[in-house]
Chains A and B, each alone.
Chain A
Amino acid sequence: GESVGLHLPTLSVQEGDNSIINCAYSNSASDYFIWYKQESGKGPQFIIDIRSNMDKRQGQRVTVLLNKTVKHLSLQIAATQPGDSAVYFCAEVAGANNLFFGTGTRLTVIP
């Protein structure tokens, strides 16, 4: 089946610095990739998505990069804030009714 994984399980950054969270995927036929943020005791919250025919997409303080050649996805968070501390998941959209999630990266922002 599909495999979506993350290079690093934890990431600590200083407040104000930029954060980069990475994700590898294996299914080159996926149509979309989505990044989610999950805070303690809550469900995953949609951050940003990117279609497979795009290389880059920007949102508010976040940028997602897709490199299909090496099947790599990254989430960049600019000027990281304490409120960004959470677990971040990438998810691969495979068909209309399933998301395949990676295991997550815990981002800790150091004040």
Chain B
Amino acid sequence: DAGITQSPRHKVTETGTPVTLRCHQTENHRYMYWYRQDPGHGLRLIHYSYGVKDTDKGEVSDGYSVSRSKTEDFLLTLESATSSQTSVYFCAIRPDRGPPIDGYTFGSGTRLTVV
């Protein structure tokens, strides 16, 4: 999607290893989000950021940490990956103005498999 890039697109890792996913935006938006998508659960919020070094937990934050050292990058880290973290991870950004009137813009996702 224009303005938002996720990397890698696919990753297979072993249980217990650390993994970092990257979200990069070129829109200069203040708000950035990490979601995971699993069958039967839709998308669920992991963490979000409302500015450089400003982050907060979402609905399913256990086992994840995030960092935002500059506006354009939002990193999601699995400190010690578990099989339950096998999922598709989506990053999203939204305009700074008020409520998300025009919705969020989502990246294309990262498919993570923990074996």
The A-contacting residues of B in range 41-69, CB under 8 angstroms, are: 41-45, 48, 50, 56, 58-59
Give the contact-size bracket for chain B. Answer: 20 to 34
Q: Provided the pairs A32-B100, A44-B106, A97-B31 are in contact, do residues A103 and B41 lie with their beta carbons within 8 angstroms?
A: yes
Q: Provided the pairs A1-B59, A99-B45 are in contact, do residues A45 and B99 lie with their beta carbons within 8 angstroms?
A: no
Question: Contacts of A1 on B, CB cut-off 8 Å?
Answer: 59
Q: Provided the pairs A98-B45, A99-B43, A103-B40 are in contact, do residues A42 and B99 lie with their beta carbons within 8 angstroms?
A: no
The B-contacting residues of A in range 1-16, CB under 8 angstroms, are: 1, 4
Give the contact-size bracket for chain A. Answer: 20 to 34
The B-contacting residues of A in range 34-55, CB under 8 angstroms, are: 34, 36, 41-46, 49
**Cross-interface CB contact of B106 among A31, A45, A98, cutoff 8 Å:** A45
A81 CB to closest chain B CB (Å) equals 22
Q: Provided the pairs A34-B103, A49-B101, A103-B42 are in contact, do residues A98 and B58 lie with their beta carbons within 8 angstroms?
A: yes
Contacting pair A96 B99 (CB below 8 A) = yes
> Once bound together, how far apart are the Cα atoms of A103 and B48, in whole Å?
21
Bitwise, A89-103 to B at CB < 8 A (1) or not (0) is: 101010011110111
> Once bound together, how far apart are the Cα atoms of A36 and B105, in whole Å?
10
Question: Contacts of B50 on A, CB cut-off 8 Å?
Answer: 97
B47 CB to closest chain A CB (Å) equals 10
Residues of A within 8 A of B (CB): 1, 4, 31-32, 34, 36, 41-46, 49, 89, 91, 93, 96-99, 101-104
Contacting pair A98 B59 (CB below 8 A) = yes
Name 21 A/B residue pairs within 8 A (Cβ), A-sorted. A32-B101, A36-B103, A43-B1, A43-B107, A44-B90, A44-B104, A46-B102, A46-B104, A49-B101, A49-B103, A89-B42, A89-B43, A91-B43, A96-B99, A97-B31, A98-B45, A99-B43, A99-B45, A99-B104, A101-B42, A101-B43
**Cross-interface CB contact of A31 among B58, B99, B102, B105, cutoff 8 Å:** B99
In the complex, the chain A residue whose C-beta lies closest to that of B103 is A46
